[in-house]
Amino acid sequence: MMDDIEQQKVVSLERGLFFVSYKNADDRASPPHVKVAPAQGHERRMELIMHPDATGPTLWEPNSGLMVRVNTPGRLQIQVQPMRPGGSRAAIVRIEPIRAGRAPLAAEGESGSMHAKFTMDGLKILGHVAGRGDVVVAANAWIAGPTAPSRIEGIALEWQEKPARLDIRYAVQSPIGQAGSGKMVSLGTYAGTRGRALPITGVVLQISDAGGFEFVAEATFLNAPTLRARGKRVVLSGPTSREPLVGIRIGVNQLAAPDNVIVPAQPSRKPVGSSRVRVFRSRARQESSIG
């Protein structure tokens, strides 16, 4: 039956940064949920940036949203699914471009603080994913993860524009005592294996010589809830320390926090069980609908 087919819309986006906002729904008591993802074949062209408490790129209710960073022009897919069988699929989604602007030039001889110059734009995380190979994402973007779990066999962090006073090191743990397992390495060094079907069962991230900076990371281990952690030294592993890593995202922020703070894992939210989705492009102020 046509009413049982999820509604979807594909939108073409130019290079840039966009805010995808779930603005409204006809049925506010049981609103449909909105799934956001790159169109098939366009996964490497863009990155989804979500709220730290989100477990995946799904907007569960109006007044929620996420960011899309488009590196090269690509297509974004918006899918709307009812909250319950036979429920409403009518939703309004707005896609708004965010302009970068220009930073003012500092006066000659002026020296800014490290905090003023801090940017994560150059931070990249590489993960070697089984069946996919090397996947490179920006800070705070998932490699595999809750919506597409897959075994991760190695990681590397790169940050060409890293503030000089930051010292970042990291390590991975393998389940069978593989050579190099648990050894801390510096930025740009690959930790793990490739093509040997050896999973990662733990990750350690460490940042030092930077009073106001810390890691903020999330990890998903097989058959375990998503784990969130933040601090100058972050340790990520499953309940028994033997579960394979099947998703990770890593960021750095400026908020001072106690070392070794691990936030308890929180499982993904599950939905409780007129059909149209309207997608607005702020730039052109045009409306699209599916009915």
Mean pLDDT of the chain: 79
Tens of pLDDT, residues 130-142: 989 999 999 999 9
**pLDDT confidence of residue 276:** 58
Return the domain boundaries, the chain.
Answer: 2-90+274-289, 120-263
CATH architecture under which domain 2-90+274-289 falls: Sandwich (2.60)
Percent of the chain past pLDDT 70, that is, above it, reads 75
pTM of structure: 0.49
Number of residues that make up the chain? 291
Tens of pLDDT, residues 257-267: 444 444 444 44
**pLDDT confidence of residue 11:** 87
Residue 226's nearest CA partner among 205, 203, 249, 210 is 249
Q: What is the DSSP string of 20-78?
A: EEEEEES-SSS--EEEEEEPTT-GGGEEEE--TT-SSSEE-STTEEEEEEESS-EEEEE
Spans of the chain below 70 pLDDT: 1-6, 101-121, 177-180, 209-211, 255-291
